[in-house]
Amino acid sequence: MPFDIVEHPAVFTTDVADEYIKGKVGVRTKSLFLTDKKKHNFYLVFMDDDKRLDMKHFAEIVGEKHVKFASEVSLMEKLGLKPGVVSIFGLMNNKEKDVQVYFEKDIVGDIPLTFHPNDNTKTIFVGMTGLEKFLKDLGFEYQIITM
């Protein structure tokens, strides 16, 4: 999977991370880890960092009455991650393959997407073709949604 990586001090917001990747072409992504009310279903959602997730609309998309941010405990159990470093690469830790993956349609294209590699001291730029292969190799499917 072709990628580019930028190392930087630990960052906890995309605004701060952007300071270290100025001038690089890439879609600044927001990675959200969500669950249903009973914590039976888990969702990893990727969208443009400038957008807000409409939780009600997303709940409708996945056929739930209500979705919420998953707890810190669930994040660690399902993806082996702590808050602030949620990333597509956390799927490597999801042995049960029970996290559903969604990309907001506006970020899917030819421009590389940005992620932390399960660590907030680096930013990885990777194209959708590479991400598709990565997900397939791990045994995950994904859906593209309109928000």
User: What is the rounded CA–CA span in Å between residue 147 and residue 54?
Assistant: 7
Give the tens place of pLDDT for each residue, 24-51: 999 999 999 999 999 999 999 999 988 9
Pair 17, 31: CB distance under 8 Å: no
Q: What one-character-per-residue DSSP string does the chain give?
A: --EEEEE-S--SSHHHHHHHSTT---B-EEEEEEEETTS--EEEEEEETTS---HHHHHHHTT-S-EEEPPHHHHHHHHS--TT---GGGGGG-TT--EEEEEEGGG-SSSPEEE--SSTTEEEEE-HHHHHHHHHHHT--EEEE--
Number of domains, the chain = 1
What residues form DSSP beta bridges with 67?
36
CB 47 within 8 Å of CB 14: no
Q: Which pLDDT tens digit goes with each residue over 38-87?
A: 999 999 999 998 899 999 999 999 999 999 999 999 999 999 998 888 99
> 72 is in which domain, residue-wise?
3-17+25-145
- How many angstroms separate the Cα of 28 from the Cα of each of 17, 54, 88, 101, 102? 9, 18, 13, 18, 16
* pLDDT > 90 fraction of the chain, expressed in percent and rounded: 80
Mean pLDDT of the chain: 93
pTM over 0.75: yes
Q: The domain that contains 34 carries what CATH number?
A: 3.90.960.10
What's the one-letter identity of residue 77?
E
